[in-house]
Amino acid sequence: MATPPALQTARHCPYAPPQEHTRIRDADGGVGRVTLGSGQEAWVLSRLDQIRTMLTDARFSSDRQDPNFPRFSPGGRPTGGMRPSLIELDPPAHGAARRAVVGEFTVRRMADLRPRIQEIVDEHIDAMLAGPRPADLVRDLALPVPSLVICEQLGVPYADHDFFQVRSAAVLRRDTSAEDRDRVVHELVGYLKDLIASKAEDPPDDLLGRQLAQGRDPEDVLSLAFLLLIAGHETTANMISLGVVTLLERPDELARMLEDPERTLPAIEELLRVYTIAEFANARVTTEDVEIDGVVIPAGEPVVALSNAANHDPSAFPDAERIQLDRGARNHVAFGFGIHQCLGQNLARMELQVVFDTLFRRVPTLRLATPADELPYKDDAFIYGIHELPVTWGEAA
């Protein structure tokens, strides 16, 4: 049998899924076969209903130790010697691990965090405005805000933030060599181990301290800490920068959004849908034969949800290719679906909300210093985004 076509990881258009994937969705019944960057052949699902079914069916496992779990690049998966974290656990272990921490991320807890997030955002905008023009919005705002927020929540001292930013970016970049990735993971794990040990004696009132005070095993707290740092850092940063570009490119819609604070959250949902930045997080391995729309996927097979194609599925989202900030659809799978749906989603929503509500009001003359179609989009990363976002403001120079 011929080798299936390669999974398309690079995007030729920032707003649209690759044609190879929409063709599977629209012409091939939604189920297809691809070859992954590791050389593995994998199944792909591409319609919204198929992906929701997959992600709520326990026969699709998240066990990354399984040799048939999808791998997107050659080489092994570094574990840093850690126990499997939340995102890798299947039921029933997953439920217990998730409930031990999800109280930290409820909608209400995130609302309580709002004033502190507002301060952090204001300080970073002040600093940007005090600096030279153009500024890089990724470096000055998009990266440091979520990074500072998650580090404060966990109880990581601010002095160590640069250390984290550099290393988590390297873990996520697709072109990082296997040796470099191993070394970086090792350094992060070593740091977190020491941090957790220092909190064990007299647990402070921060997320890691509270996990220890609940009597959770420090080894489990370590894998949780690592996951939260990696998962909460660059994802939100990428949505901030992609969102700023999109909104600046649509001044009329931006003006309407700013008229009514109720419009920000629906706009965020639409941005999440359109960009689906963490598309390849939705990967599984089958533990039994599963039939999806008449196709039998045998047990022990890698399966990847083409969430970006699904989030542009015209049968689920009318006029799906158009960005409509007031669409108000929350049935997208940008945060995944099923038991692993993003733990940090309400934190991410709150951060995006504060940034968008503040930035355009405080800096009404904000504009791109590089045309949107010439920006360095992250075609080389596991999570989609923009490397650098030059912006300027005030009178034209």
Partner 1 sequence: MTRIVAELDRCIGAGQCVLADPGAFDQREDDGTVVVLEEHPADDTAVQRARTAVDTCPSRTLSLVE
Closest approach, Cβ 341 to ligand HEM, in A, equals 6
Q: For partner 1, give the closer residue by CB, 41 or 49.
A: 49
Question: What distance in Å separates the CA atoms of residue 319 and residue 90, rounded to the nearest whole number?
Answer: 36
Binding of ligand HEM at residue 281 (CB under 6 A)? yes
For 67-94, letters b (16+ CB in 10 Å) and e give ebbbbbeeeeebbbebebbbbbbbeeeb
- Angle (CA) 350-236-95 rounded to 5° is 80
116 binding ligand HEM? (CB under 6 A): no
State in angstroms the smallest separation of the CB of 267 from partner 1: 14
Write down the number of H helices and E strands in the chain: 14, 10
Q: Specify the stretch interacting with ligand HEM by CB under 6 A; choose among 189-197, 295-303, 328-336, 387-395.
A: 328-336
Residue 277 binds to ligand HEM (criterion: CB under 6 A)? yes
> Residue 103 binds which one of ligand HEM, partner 1, none, with CB within 5 to 8 A depending on kind?
partner 1
Q: Give every CB contact of residue 201 below 8 A, 6+ residues apart in sequence.
A: none
Q: How far apart are CA 126 and CA 155, in angstroms?
A: 25
Q: Is 344 in the site for ligand HEM (CB under 6 A)?
A: yes
Q: Does 359 bind ligand HEM (CB under 6 A)?
A: no
The distance of closest approach from Cβ of residue 129 to ligand HEM in the complex, given in angstroms and rounded to an integer, is 25
> Between β-strands 295-297 and 367-368, what pairing exists: parallel, antiparallel or unpaired?
unpaired
Six-digit token string for 308? 């970006």
Near ligand HEM by CB under 6 A: residue from 231, 242, 271, 303:
231
Place of tokens 């604070």: 261
Binding mask 126-165 for ligand HEM (x = CB under 6 A): ------------------------x---------------
CA dihedral 12, 17, 18, 20 (to 10 degrees): 180
Q: Which of 141, 184, 225, 343 binds ligand HEM (CB under 6 A)?
A: 343
Q: Which residues bind partner 1 (CB under 8 A)?
A: 55-56, 95, 98-100, 102-108, 265, 330-331, 336-339, 341-342, 345-346
CB-CB neighbours of 109 under 10 Å: 15
Q: CA 262, CA 349: separation in Å to the nearest integer?
A: 13
By CB under 6 A, residue 334 contacts ligand HEM: yes
Rg of the chain over Cα atoms, rounded to whole angstroms, equals 21
Collapse the DSSP code of 229 into the 3-class scheme (helix H, G, I; strand E, B; otherwise coil) and give the result: helix
Please identify which residue in 87, 113, 172, 222 interacts with ligand HEM, judged by CB under 6 A: 87
Q: Count the alpha carbons within 13 Å of 195 in the hemisphere toward its beta carbon.
A: 22
* Span between the terminal Cα atoms of the chain, in Å: 61
* Nearest-angstrom CA–CA distance, 24 and 50: 13
The residue with its CB nearest to ligand HEM is: 344
Q: How far is the CB of 89 from ligand HEM (least distance, A)?
A: 7
Residue from 70, 80, 155, 232 touching ligand HEM (CB under 6 A): that is 232
Options 106-114, 167-175, 337-345, 374-382: segment touching ligand HEM (CB under 6 A): 337-345
Name which of 389, 380, 307, 397 is nearest 139 in CA terms.
389
Q: What's the min distance (Å) between Cβ of 153 and partner 1?
A: 15
Closest distance to ligand HEM from the beta carbon of 103 (Å): 13
Assess 348 for contact with ligand HEM (CB under 6 A).
Answer: yes
Residues 237-256 that bind ligand HEM (CB under 6 A): 239
Question: What's the Cα-to-Cα distance from 223 to each of 1, 26, 218, 229, 231, rounded to whole Å?
Answer: 41, 40, 9, 10, 12
Q: Kindly state the smallest distance separating residue 326's Cβ from partner 1, in Å.
A: 16
Residue 62, interface with ligand HEM (CB under 6 A)? yes
**Which listed option, ligand HEM, partner 1, none, makes contact with residue 331 (CB within 5 to 8 Å by class)?**
partner 1
Q: Report the residue number, 259 or 268, with the smaller CB distance to ligand HEM.
A: 268
309 forms part of the interface with ligand HEM (CB under 6 A): no
Tokens 């929540």 belong to: 153
Q: By the criterion CB under 6 A, which residues form the site for ligand HEM?
A: 62, 86-87, 98, 150, 227-228, 231-232, 235-236, 239, 277-278, 281-282, 334-336, 340, 342-344, 347-348
